[in-house]
Amino acid sequence: MDKIEEMIKDFPFQLILGSASPRRQELLKGLGFDFLNKPVKVDEEQWPKDLEAQEICIYLAEKKADAYEEDLKETDLLITADTIVWCEGKVYNKPANFAEGKKMLESLSGKMHQVFTAVCLKSANKQTTFFDESKVYFKKLKAHEIEYYLTNFSPYDKAGGYGVQDWIGFVGIDKIEGSFYNIMGLPVKDLFEELVKF
C-alpha cells in the first residue's frame, strides 16, 4: 500500500459533505475519500451587504456549517462550501429563471470574471475556512448561443448561470487562470492539503 492509499484508509475522520451539488459530490469522491452526503439548506441570497468578493462565499460556507443540524461526533468532519461569481464589483449567484440566466450571461459575455469558492471544515472542536480564486475569460457570446444553452442545460443551480464543464464552457470560454475544479465548485487541490493538515 502506498503512502496516499494509507493516508486515505487511515484518515481519522468520517467526512460529511453538507452539499446538494452533484459536482461537489463527484469531486470529493474523486479525491478517494469515503463520505456521507447530508446537504445543508440556508438562504444563499442573504449576507451582510458590506461584504465583497471572497468575503461573501466565506460567510456563506461558514453559515452552512453553523446550520448543520446534527451534533458532530469527535470523529466527524463536516465540509461545507459556497461558490460565487464576481464581475465588476457585483456578485452573480444562481439565476431564478431563464430571463435572469440570460441577463447574467449577457453581463459576463466578453469579459473576465472571478470565481471564488470558500470551504469550511468543521469538527466537534475545530474549524477552518479557506478559499480559492479562478479567473474566467468569456468570448463575446451570441444571443442564440446563450438561449440554446439555457434551454438545453438548465443551469439554474449554478453561480453565474453557467457550468464550466457544460456546453457553454466548451464554446464560450477563451481562457482560465487558476483551478478548473474551483470553478466547478470545489478547489480539490487545496481541500486535499487542508484535510491532510486537519
What pLDDT, in 10s, does the model give residues 149-186? 999 998 999 999 999 999 999 999 999 999 999 999 99
Rounded Cα–Cα distance for residues 198 and 189 (Å):
14
Q: So what's the pLDDT on residue 195?
A: 94
Kindly state the cell numbers that stand for 99.
Answer: 430571463
Q: Give the pairing type, strands 76-87 and 14-17.
A: parallel
Task: Please check the confidence at residue 120 and state whether its pLDDT lies above 90.
Answer: yes
Q: So what's the pLDDT on residue 6?
A: 86
Q: So what's the pLDDT on residue 1?
A: 56
pTM for the model stands at 0.93
* C-beta separation of 44 from 19 below 8 A: no
What pLDDT, in 10s, does the model give residues 53-101? 999 999 999 999 999 988 899 999 999 999 999 999 999 989 999 999 9
Indicate which residues carry an active-site annotation.
82
CATH no. for 3-197: 3.90.950.10
Q: Is 193 helix (H, G, I), strand (E, B) or coil?
A: helix
Q: So what's the pLDDT on residue 139?
A: 98
| Banded model confidence at residue 9, pLDDT cuts 50, 70, 90 | confident
| 1: β partners | none
